[in-house]
Structure 1
Amino acid sequence: MQTLTDWLRKFTSSKKSIFFLLVLLIISTHGYSQDKNSHADDKTTWQHFTYDMGNVFGGMGYAYSRPFHWDKKSWLTFGGVAGGTMLLYTIDEPAKTYFEDQKEDIPQFIRDYGWYYGSPQNNYMLTGVVYLTGLFTKNEKLRRTGVLLISSASAAGLLQQVSKYTFGRARPRTGEQKNTFIPFSDDADYHSFPSGHTILAFTNAYAIAKQFKNPWVKAGIYTVGLVPGISRLWEGAHWLSDVGLSVAISIFTVEAIDKYLDSKYDEKYNSKQKKTDWSLSFGPGTVGVVVHF
């Protein structure tokens, strides 16, 4: 008799099932945004599409240009992230041992989910479904969400691709030490820094969470978005500092592009709500992230 665990393992190992789960998420998000956000206009679908694609590339450019416009507070935040990444770097090797020791205790379906959801093809499957749903239903809020997802994933993903090739950091599974770097290597085993799975998955989660006001819903979406990054630690594909910095890149990219889109679309995300505030927390033997909703 098939157990629940066996069924879930088989279900989540299928790409079709991943697509099914993503569609369910889109339907729920779409339903949530229908109250005041769907209205008729006289623009054609093609006009909306060309406008949105322009905003995808405009958002990417805006995100890349932000460091040239940072104020003192922004540079202090950057310094905090750099310091936090260095602290994680100091514990990379014991963290590697800890996470790899947990691997056999993690249900296979969770490990499979971490791999599939963080893969580029599944990421763009999600972003494409969100955007096209908004485009063909003429729902501006959902269109904007799709633009935010596509632009953020593309901007952060391109940065990740260039960075991992430039730094050439050895993956933990190679047996090399954490400080082994072979810049511009074509060997995928030296493309550890930063983590593409973490960036794509958490970028999606952070952008989607903007649709909701409830802090528990947000926290749940963030948690689901972190699983692919953590799964890469179990598999020995990335160091803890790779994953930590990748989460920060995701947050900064989404926030920058979302700010850019505020000037392009009438619909805003929870505009009367206080913005989510992320800060690093350090203590004796600890390092963490504090989130204020």
Structure 2
Amino acid sequence: MADATRTLQPGQRCEVWVASVSGASQLLYSTDRILLEAPNWTLDGTALVLNGDGKLWTLDVSGGEPVEVPLTGAPDLNNDHVLAPDGSRIYLSANDGHIYQAALAGGPVDRITEDDGAFHFLHGVSPDGRELAYVGIEAGDFTQPGRLMTIASDGGAAARVDVGPGHCDGPEYSPDGQWIYLNTESFTSAPGHAQLARIRRHGSGFERLLTSDSVDWFPHLSPDGRFATYIRFPSGTEGHPADLPVAVVLVSTEDWTTSLQTWPLFGGQGTLNVNSWSPDSTRFAFVAYPLTDPSKD
């Protein structure tokens, strides 16, 4: 979830990485000109989709420079975007608090959400493409907890899924469409202590996936359902801020308590906000924001 167009600090770089379930990692792209965020992977496996400077970009995984997606009529976009299951369209959150849809090739955007007094932060689309999961913030008041909401992908009335009183974020459907995975503060009274959880799509079976001392956000399942990634913030972190020592964590969905691999980095907001798995479930992408000027670190 994000609510503003971000820029790099002086002395800071944006690095787009691709990592493998085997533990290998590769720096795909590095720049000091634009702050890119939240990679998705295209269905054909050839490119990443990221936001930056309020716009949408594609980045070929074989290299090269980002290419802007030519959207028309779109407000400044934030880092909550997911591809439709057919890979031809994309759902987008914008800084005006609404969710839009557009062709991934570009063109006009269509607004999905209504003026219902809330800000809408998209995170998931069901495998059948019929439903979106998002976080609703009442009246855009960020002192209020985010609520898990669902809405038909072509718009209409929204429905709340109850995951307790604590702030939640990152709701994303399992590949079989039966569950919504998310992070939530409903398991503790400690401010900001988000933990990973899941709930059945229609509101039953709410359960915690692991108990940790760290602040854990944005669980993302691989398309085959075997693996998941999430981002681990330091204990005591409130929200999911930028510019912290964090780690991207890989686990098996059969045992969320055991890390298979970790990738420590400087980042946080923008690093892993949305599902960034390759369609063959062998790789995933994330973004780091190292500070090259030691005085800024």
TM-score of the aligned structures, taking structure 1 as reference length:
0.23
Which structure features the higher share of helix residues?
1
Which structure features the higher share of strand residues?
2
Higher relative contact order (CA 8 A, sep 6+): 1
- State the structure with more CA Rg: 1
TM-score of the aligned structures, taking structure 2 as reference length:
0.22
